[in-house]
Copies of this chain bind each other. A is one copy, B any other.
Amino acid sequence: VAREVGLLPDEVELYGQTKAKVHLSALKRLKNQPDGKYVVVTGITPTPLGEGKSTTTVGLVQALGAHLHQNVFACVRQPSQGPTFGIKGGAAGGGYCQITPMEEFNLHLTGDIHAITAANNLVAAAVDARIFHELTQTDQVRSFLKLGINKTDPMALTKEEVNLFVRLDIDPGTITWQRVLDTNDRFLRKITIGQSPTEKGFSRMAQFDITVSSEIMAVLALSDGLDDMKKRLGRMVVASSKRGEPVTTDDLGVTGALAVLMRDAVKPNLMQTLEGTPVFVHAGPFANIAHGNSSVLADKIALKLVGKEGFVVTEAGFGADIGMEKFFNIKCRYSGLRPHVVVLVATVRALKMHGGGPAVTAGVPLPKEYMEENLQLLARGCSNLNKQIQNARMFGVPVVVAVNAFKTDTKAELALVVQMAKEAGAFDAVECTHWAEGGKGAVALAQAVQRASQAPSNFRFLYNVELPVIDKIRLIAQQIYGASDIELLPEAQEKVTLYTKQGFGNLPICMAKTHLSLSHDPEQKGAPAGFILPIRDIRASVGAGFLYPLVGTMSTMPGLPTRPCFYDIDLDPVSGEVNGLF
Contacts and interface: CB of A to CB of B under 8 A. Distances in A.
A422 interface: no
A11 to B, nearest CB: 12
B186 A129 contact: yes
A85 B227 CA distance: 21
A308 interface: no
A193 interface: yes
A442 B570 CA distance: 47
A230 B147 contact: no
B562 A146 contact: yes
B185 A196 contact: no
Contact of A16 (B21, B81, B103): B21
A260 B118 contact: no
Contact of A263 (B13, B160, B566, B571): B571
A15 B110 CA distance: 9
Contacts of A566: 122, 126, 253-254, 256-257
A129 B13 contact: no
A570 B114 contact: no
A199 B226 contact: no
A31 interface: no
A126 B193 contact: no
Contacts of A17: 13
Contacts of A160: 567
A124 interface: yes
Interface of A is mostly: mixed
Interface centre among A108, A110, A206, A229 (most CB of B within 10 A): A108
Contact of A260 (B115, B183, B581): B581
Interface string A547-572: 00000000000011011101111110
A183 B128 contact: no
Contacts of A114: 108, 111, 114, 117-118
Contacts of A569: 256-257, 260
A565 to B, nearest CB: 9
A415 to B, nearest CB: 37
A182 interface: yes
Nearest to A580: B256
A571 B265 CA distance: 13
Contact of A14 (B15, B206, B264, B560): B15
Nearest to A570: B256
A260 B103 contact: yes
A191 B193 contact: yes
Interface string A132-161: 110001000001001110000000000010
Contacts of A132: 186-187
Contacts of A570: 256-257, 259-260
B559 A129 contact: yes
Contacts of A205: 195
A194 interface: yes
Interface string A92-107: 0000000000010001
Contacts of A393: none
A466 to B, nearest CB: 29
A253 B565 CA distance: 10
A503 interface: no
A136 to B, nearest CB: 9
Interface in A182-222: 182-196, 198-199, 202, 205-207
A254 B188 CA distance: 19
A359 to B, nearest CB: 18
Given A128-B185, A226-B576, A259-B570, A562 B193 contact: no
Interface in A1-50: 13-17, 21
Contact of A192 (B103, B195, B253, B264): B195
B263 A578 contact: yes
Contact of A182 (B118, B128, B568): B118
A148 B254 contact: no
A192 B192 contact: yes
Contact of A187 (B125, B183, B562): B125
A567 B191 contact: no
Contacts of A563: 146-148, 164
A121 interface: yes
A261 interface: yes
A574 B227 contact: yes
Interface in A240-270: 253-254, 256-257, 259-261, 263-264
Interface in A496-533: none
Contacts of A256: 566, 568-571, 579-580
A85 B576 contact: no
A179 B186 CA distance: 13
Given A15-B16, A264-B16, A264-B108, A560 B126 contact: yes
Nearest 5 Cβ contacts at the A-B interface: A256-B570, A114-B114, A189-B196, A257-B566, A190-B196
Given A190-B194, A260-B581, 5 more contacts: A108-B118, A118-B183, A129-B186, A132-B187, A188-B193
30 contacts: A14-B15, A15-B15, A81-B118, A108-B264, A110-B111, A114-B114, A118-B183, A125-B186, A125-B560, A126-B564, A129-B564, A143-B562, A146-B562, A146-B563, A147-B562, A147-B563, A179-B181, A186-B199, A187-B206, A190-B195, A227-B573, A230-B573, A253-B566, A253-B567, A254-B566, A256-B568, A256-B579, A257-B570, A259-B571, A263-B578
